[in-house]
Amino acid sequence: MKKVSSFRFIRNVAALLVATIALTAVNTQAADEKGYDPAQYSFRKIFIDGAQDGRWAGATSNSERLIILRSAIKHWSASDTKDGSISPRYVVTCYGGVIDMRHFLLAAAAAASGTKSPDEIGYDSMVSEGGMVVPSQYHGEVTAKLIEETEDWAWVGSARADDIPSDALGAYWGRSIASKNGDVSFDLEGSFIDFISPFIPVPNAVTAKLTFHELVLGYSESPSRAELVASQLWLTARPKVFTKRLNAVAKEVGLKPLCDDVDNGDDALAKAGFRVEKVAGQYPVKLGHEL
């Protein structure tokens, strides 16, 4: 057996390490050049942490890596209860509402691997959030009549405004990268940034001034019964949008307006080039591209 000197072995390991660091730097630089500073956009931390996971290098598909990314945020609570701020697991956007990345990445992994289609993901999401117990005519619109008729609001499920929209967005992106699933050299973060950019992610300087109750739960800290019911009935992929509020806060912290003001989720999606589509002819739980 040919012996390799200790010096040569150390030199080869060092060269490999330098090459690995260089590759990581290129990918990070590419993301930075898209205008998303990790100090201002917390979703960058998800990808940075995920790439440092011991399983990352051994993954044989991008769907596996999406699950690794999801596990990187499992320790982040839904909200930081100490101050009521928004957890880094959420990506706040102008035209896509609040995106729960645990929902998003799980749906993306299923769609990228072909385990489920976007239609199946949307339908299963609606069912798991309690949507089957609400007549389909109420899906996509929380009506005063339904709230009035619901004596025990708990039965309607737990479909918050970040749930089904996050699943629909993840399913769309996952399907769009399915052809690259076996190519682990594919730039997942760059692809995610390209996908999310039209929805206009909101910088931390703005989200730090907002609360979990306000944007994610969608009701005040002392909610009325109507607020509680409405917060559990977001049975649609249409995002709940806060453009006026986001632009107002941006002005408060010395930034320019982030986006155009829109009044509803359909108009917001159209701004980003998307629309809601119905599954099984009646459930608006899937996203399509606006032509």
Alpha-carbon span 203 to 94, nearest angstrom: 11
Domain ranges of the chain: 1-33, 38-289
Predicted pLDDT at 216: 84
Query: What's the pLDDT tens digit per position in 16-50?
Result: 333 333 334 335 555 666 779 999 998 999 999 99
CA 238 – CA 275 distance, rounded (Å): 8
**Residue with the larger pLDDT of the pair 273 and 72:** 273
Q: What's the sign of the alpha-carbon dihedral 247, 251, 255, 257?
A: positive
Q: How confident is the model at residue 233 (pLDDT cuts 50, 70, 90)?
A: confident
Are the beta carbons of 171 and 110 closer than 8 angstroms? yes
What confidence tier does 144 reach under pLDDT thresholds 50, 70, 90? low
pTM: 0.84
pLDDT of res. 221:
74
Give the pLDDT band of residue 15 (cuts 50, 70, 90). Answer: very low
